[in-house]
Amino acid sequence: MSFEAYEIELHGHSMVYRRAGEGPPVVLIHGMVNSSRHWEKVALLLAERYSVIAPDLIGHGDSAGPRGDYSLGAHASRIRDLLAVLGIDRATMVGHSYGGGVAMQFFWQFPQRTERLALISSGGLGPDVSPMLRSAALPGASGLLSVVAHRRVVAALAAAGGQLRAIARAMHPLSGPGPRNAFLQTLRSVIDGRGQRVAANDRLYLLDHAPTPTLIAWGGRDNTIPVEHGRAAHRAIPSSRFELLENAAHFPHLEDPAGVARVLTRFLETTEGVCVPDSEWGSAIGGRSSPRKATSASGANQAT
């Protein structure tokens, strides 16, 4: 079985995705400076029972990197459009790191298309993030990044081994100005010098109210995003499942692909995919409060 790449044009720009297997659809969304290739081992294990689709987000992998919108919502909309072209109405959404934020955004925007949600060492669940990512979000980081990502520097880091090899792996896709620009636009849409500035914590209750089966899995040695973010999200979504992957750090799908495939398969096989129609979305959102007449300072002044 192979994890073959395909290319389509969406809104005038090339988008590449990889696909394997047949069965209920599962969408794998990569993180920043990653691509669909990083899902290969997990995808081939899942493909024995499922139809696996892994897109290269715009500005990542082999997809185009145009000047434009690199927000979570824009990425989610492009995935919706890709699935529409492929004739897929609903799917289980799986996201790693930044891709977890995209997967959650996909659910907020298109709940009727989200059968299940799985978050792996996900961003968007709290402010804490590694100092390296906070630094990369600062003004002036572009010049420094161009030096660090130079091919010779990356080769030297890779040869040094250890933790430096992981840094080299992250820097390798950023050797060109186009990918670096897309990375910085994506990064700065969610992170600043103080950490993650976009969080979904105020909307996690919807996953219970909708309700949508939710899995939260985390690398036990993750030093990029703390595991406590995942545990807190699990507490905020009482119906969710939490899985700790002890043999992995921030990239469980690369460091323990068999473990990721195992927890995903168990989740898929023991939950029922849902469809939340638009007619029920309002009641899910409004479950915590009822509309009331608004008052304003200007209105109060006019009345006196």
Burial 250-260 (b: 16+ CB within 10 A, else e): bbbbbbbbebb
**Cis preceding-peptide flag for 173 (omega within 30 of 0):** no
Q: Cα separation of 79 and 92, whole Å?
A: 12
Catalytic residue among 38, 229, 234, 250: 250
* 3-class secondary structure, 122: coil
Three-class SS of residue 214? strand
DSSP E strand stretches across 56-136? 91-96, 114-120
Distance (Å, whole) CA 301 – CA 304: 5
Catalytic residue among 222, 229, 240, 256: 222
Residue 135 known to be catalytic: no
Give one DSSP letter per residue of 229-268, joined into a string: HHHHHHHHSTT-EEEEETT-SS-HHHH-HHHHHHHHHHHH
Selecting among 63, 77, 97, 189, the annotated active-site residue is: 97
Residue ranges of E strands in the chain: 4-10, 13-20, 25-29, 51-55, 91-96, 114-120, 191-192, 195-196, 214-219, 241-245
81 catalytically annotated:
no
Are 195 and 127 within 8 A, CB to CB?
A: yes
224 φ, ψ to 5°?
-90, -50
97 counts as catalytic: yes
Q: Which two tokens stand for residue 186?
A: 């994506």
Query: How far apart are the C-alpha atoms of 8 and 16, rounded to whole Å?
Result: 6
Name the residues annotated as catalytic: 97, 222, 250
